[in-house]
Structure 1
């Protein structure tokens, strides 16, 4: 069983979905080797047991979870596997592995990356036409920018086109202050997932603070893409990639909510 788990850990360990797909395509999926996944208790939380044996991360750390709700999410992913174990269908497990093995050692690195996104946030760069697209961006994005100013104390400047606009340092610092409330590695990993998938730290914070649902944030992040699809048609490959990324967004949202 150890050899199978080691192979599976290799598939689960890469944060890049394209890289994961490449790894998966080069080797057969491992057969399901356990009858059932169950939740165990540890000194500091919960673990996932495969036929009574605890799972470890790719870095061989005990996969320990802070809440039972989160343990239930992982347990469901492991029990949902059929004859083969497919890491692609286990997004919460992948996120937790990343949090334990990577984020926990240096959470500030992800916080700083989120703040870099805030400095060039998607919501701050507006189209100068056509008018209907401008209206859609205004409708979807302005409420989030206004919320950031009133709730986070962060005023963001808007620009047309791709010309860079320097955001006030006080605004970036304000976002950083609110990020500090999410101090666990799984929470930070979830926020970073929101940010990188949407291209917006403001959308990420709006989801984390429950100003927006994950679905509303996802729609807001794809205003431009949806507009182009309406004008020129939708590419099947792009749709498949977007659907996969939406699954990752949902998994991060479920993980974050399970921590409370």
Structure 2
């Protein structure tokens, strides 16, 4: 997919910690984070600010911890997952919701849950058991029906379903869209992303459902460190996205 939404775990160069204290500051646009009194500025030169105080406190906490345990006081992007999602919300979602929503909605055309193994393959039963309930949830909850195919046969989703999916995304807050911008690419499924955003699934459940194929493969051939790492990264990304959305919605108050 062109212009794919980036995961917060894409590699960036490591940076050296230059501050002692990170704290929440109040301002005209909500709450920000200051490092030794100086506000954090995002890569696009926009101040880091959010409307939720619990989220701001979590942002300050991850800045306070970043590099603190490293002998050289260096840290990478994994140390600041909530800040990276907040940056997406502020510098990518808010300025152009239409483009961001279109990119997210495009996952509905090729959702993971819609592509099953042939019935004769061992994975087919596991996929049907794990995936079909969430396509049913999407239909019953939001009136959106996505078609399913088997094997390598591509399937075209109905225009109505894609329009409804876009309308549903349009109804979400910037914070939820930013969280979905992590959870959806990580899981390969707009359906699972929406279920997580609506608290119908937790992050661990979503990662387990999205990794049915990998786990079925290991069940047959034995554990694979590369697959285990992939599943762990997926689970971590979905966990970060879920935490961000909950904090942004003050669900941890």
Which category describes the TM-score, using the shorter chain as reference length?
A: 0.7 to 0.9
When residues 161 and 181 of structure 1 are mapped into structure 2, their CA distance, relative to the original with a 3 A threshold, is: same
Aligned-partner SS, 1:102: helix
Aligned counterparts, 1:209-224, within 5 A: 209-224=198-213
Alignment match of 2:219 (pick from 202, 227, 230) = 230
Q: Which residue of 1 aligns with 2:35?
A: 50
Q: Which residue of 2 aligns with 1:253?
A: 242
Report the structure, 1 or 2, having the larger helix content: 1
Please say if 1:201 is aligned against 2:190. Answer: yes
Contact 2:8 2:85 (8 Å CA) reproduced: no
| Runs of 4 or more above 6 Å deviation | none
Q: Which residue of 2 aligns with 1:40?
A: 25
Aligned-partner SS, 1:41: strand
Alignment match of 2:161 (pick from 165, 168, 171) = 171
Q: Which residue of 2 aligns with 1:73?
A: 58
TM-score, normalised to structure 2, is 0.87
Q: Which residue of 2 aligns with 1:120?
A: 110
User: Cα RMSD over matched residues?
Assistant: 2.0
Q: Which residue of 2 aligns with 1:59?
A: 44
- Measured in 2, the distance between the counterparts of 1:244 and 1:160 equals 27
TM-score, normalised to structure 1, is 0.85
Aligned-partner SS, 1:71: helix
Matched residue count: 240
Contact 1:128 1:134 (8 Å CA) reproduced: yes
Higher relative contact order (CA 8 A, sep 6+): 2
- Measured in 2, the distance between the counterparts of 1:223 and 1:142 equals 12
Q: Deviation per CA, 1:200-248: give whole Å up to 9, x if none.
A: 1111111111211121111111100111112123332343343233222
Aligned-residue offset at 1:129: 4.3
Contact 2:63 2:80 (8 Å CA) reproduced: yes
Alignment match of 1:160 (pick from 134, 150, 167) = 150
Contact 1:15 1:98 (8 Å CA) reproduced: no
Aligned-residue offset at 1:131: 5.5
Structure 1, gaps ≥5 residues long:
1-13
Contact 2:112 2:188 (8 Å CA) reproduced: yes
Q: Deviation per CA, 1:52-103: give whole Å up to 9, x if none.
A: 2211101111111110121122111111121333332211111112222222
Aligned counterparts, 1:70-149, within 5 A: 70-81=55-66, 82=68, 83-130=73-120, 132-149=122-139
- Which segment drifts farther, 39-48 or 101-110? 101-110
Aligned-partner SS, 1:258: helix
